[in-house]
């Protein structure tokens, strides 16, 4: 059994996009950490900043976006590397990207080059980060394709991506991501475009490989059903901030932040009639015109005056459960009790 240890520690990370219309604060002060052997699910509505956060970990935020402040501390052997301070195209970050930290992207057809065979793309990653010869890398590629349950890997290693089904392409992406035995694997909604049966197979495969390799898994999703199945811990994100973090059981059974509660209420249930659906009220604010105070206050049924004026800090419900909400700030609680 792999001992859990911190792999990544993110402190006050801010990623801004500088456009002609103004500045978009896509990530606005994120604090989180990832541990080896554990699965952390990063959840939230589309556009809340989940993918941009994880791209920052690899130094692949696309212009006009860039990291403006904060730290991304990567713990490797006895070395602590601050990825946020490295040049995005520098040798150091390229030695980490794809080797120590790998990523499975949301749509494999756009992530795999149509010009090269699946095998060539896996082999390139192996030879780039290891000292294996091309022949040895090819054997490893075939072994990896077999490991991710691709049938007849010796033949499919020479196929082009368009010849494979969506599920097979996703498996090939997983094989590529695992080709250098990474310490941490980021999966950006890897099952979104797949049917339910294939989705279940991919999830089972990823958990089995995580157990075998002992790697940390950061899983980005908006599907709370998937979260319930695979998560050890859950970080809930809203408009560029982590608003709640706890173990999976706590998030599902005792959520504290009004946004987390609203997400859980919005999940459709088998016995539910269509008119009984309980969507989150309102809309995600325009990124160019964020509300003052707490980002969620225009949609929150518990919003107070302080919520519209000041940004809440981080409150510790217990050692493993944090929430960013004025309802749990000590001075606010005391003020309400005395009212």
3-state secondary structure 189-258: CCCCCCCHHHHHHHHHHHHHHHHHHCCEEEEEECCHHHHHHHCCEEEEEECCEEEEEEEHHHHHHCCCCH
Amino acid 230: pLDDT: 93
User: What's the confidence (pLDDT) of residue 334?
Assistant: 42
pLDDT of amino acid 158 = 96
pLDDT at 139 over 90: yes
**Cα–Cα distance between 153 and 142 in angstroms, integer?**
6
* Angle at CA of residue 257, ends 256 and 260, nearest 5°: 100
CA distance 32 to 304: 27
pLDDT of residue 275: 60
Work out the angle at residue 312's Cα, subtended by the Cα atoms of residues 300 and 30, and round it to the nearest 5 degrees.
Answer: 100
Give the residue with greater pLDDT, 201 vs 159.
159
Half-sphere exposure of 248 (CA within 13 A, CB side): 16
What is the pLDDT averaged over residues 177-192?
89
**Quick one: pLDDT at residue 289?**
85
**What's residue 3's pLDDT?**
55
Question: Which of the four pLDDT bands, split at 50, 70 and 90, describes residue 298?
Answer: very high
Percent of the chain scored above 70 by pLDDT?
A: 93
DSSP string, 133-154: -HHHHHHHHHHHHHHTT-SSHH
**Per-position DSSP letters for 260-322, written without gaps between them:** HHHHHHTS--TT--GGG--PPSS-PPPTTSPPSSSTTGGG-TT--HHHHHS----EEEETTEE
Which pLDDT band, with edges at 50, 70 and 90, does 339 fall under?
very low
For residue 8, CA distances in Å to 34, 100, 150, 152 come to 5, 11, 31, 37
User: Could you give the angle at the alpha carbon of 107 between the alpha carbons of 188 and 204, nearest 5°?
Assistant: 60
> CA 66, CA 18: separation in Å to the nearest integer?
8
Taking residues 51-71, what's their average pLDDT?
94
**DSSP code, position 97:** B
Structure tokens at 137: 């890398």
pLDDT average, residue stretch 182-204: 85
pLDDT tier for residue 144 given thresholds of 50, 70 and 90: very high
- The reported pTM is 0.89
| pLDDT score recorded for residue 4 | 66
**What is the rounded average pLDDT of the residues 213-236?**
92
Angle in degrees, CA 95, 67, 99, rounded to 5: 15
CA distance 296 to 288: 15
pLDDT at 330: 61
Residues 6+ apart with CB under 8 A from 19: 64
pLDDT higher than 70, residue 274: no
Judged against a pLDDT cut of 60, whether residue 332 lies above it is answered with no
Radius of gyration of the chain (CA): 21
Across the range 241-260, mean pLDDT stands at 96
> Mind listing the pLDDT tens digit for each residue in 10-30?
999 999 999 998 999 999 999
Q: Would you state the pLDDT for residue 337?
A: 42
Q: How many H helices and E strands in the chain?
A: 13, 12
Please, what is the average pLDDT of the chain? 89
């Amino acid at each position: 059994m792999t001992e859990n240890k911190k792999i990544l520690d993110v402190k006050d990370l801010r990623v801004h996009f500088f456009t002609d219309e103004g500045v978009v604060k896509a990530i606005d002060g994120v604090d989180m950490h990832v541990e080896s052997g554990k699965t952390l699910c990063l959840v939230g509505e589309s556009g809340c900043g989940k993918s941009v956060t994880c791209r920052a970990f690899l130094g692949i935020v696309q212009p006009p976006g860039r990291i403006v402040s904060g730290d991304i501390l990567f713990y490797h052997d006895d070395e602590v590397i601050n990825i946020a301070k490295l040049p995005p195209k520098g040798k150091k970050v390229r030695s980490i990207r794809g080797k120590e930290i790998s990523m499975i992207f949301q749509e494999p057809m756009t992530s795999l080059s149509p010009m090269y065979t699946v095998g060539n793309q896996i082999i390139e990653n192996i030879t780039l980060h290891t000292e294996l010869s091309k022949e040895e890398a090819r054997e490893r590629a075939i072994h990896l394709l077999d490991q991710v349950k691709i049938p007849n890997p010796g033949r499919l290693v020479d196929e082009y991506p368009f010849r494979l089904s969506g599920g097979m392409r996703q498996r090939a992406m997983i094989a590529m991501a695992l080709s250098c035995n990474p310490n941490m694997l980021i999966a950006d909604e890897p099952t979104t475009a797949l049917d339910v049966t294939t989705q279940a197979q991919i999830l089972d495969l990823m958990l089995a490989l995580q157990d075998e390799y002992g790697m940390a898994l950061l899983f980005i999703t908006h599907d709370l059903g998937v979260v319930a199945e695979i998560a050890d811990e859950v970080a809930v994100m809203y408009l560029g901030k982590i608003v709640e973090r706890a173990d999976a059981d706590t998030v599902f059974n005792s959520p504290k932040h009004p946004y987390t509660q609203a997400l859980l209420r919005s999940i459709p249930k088998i016995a539910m009639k269509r008119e009984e659906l309980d969507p989150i009220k309102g809309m995600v604010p325009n990124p160019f015109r964020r509300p003052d105070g707490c980002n969620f206050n225009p949609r929150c049924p518990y919003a107070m005056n302080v919520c519209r004026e000041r940004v809440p800090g981080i409150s510790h419900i217990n050692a493993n459960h944090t929430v960013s909400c004025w309802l749990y700030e000590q001075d606010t609680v005391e003020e309400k009790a005395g009212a």
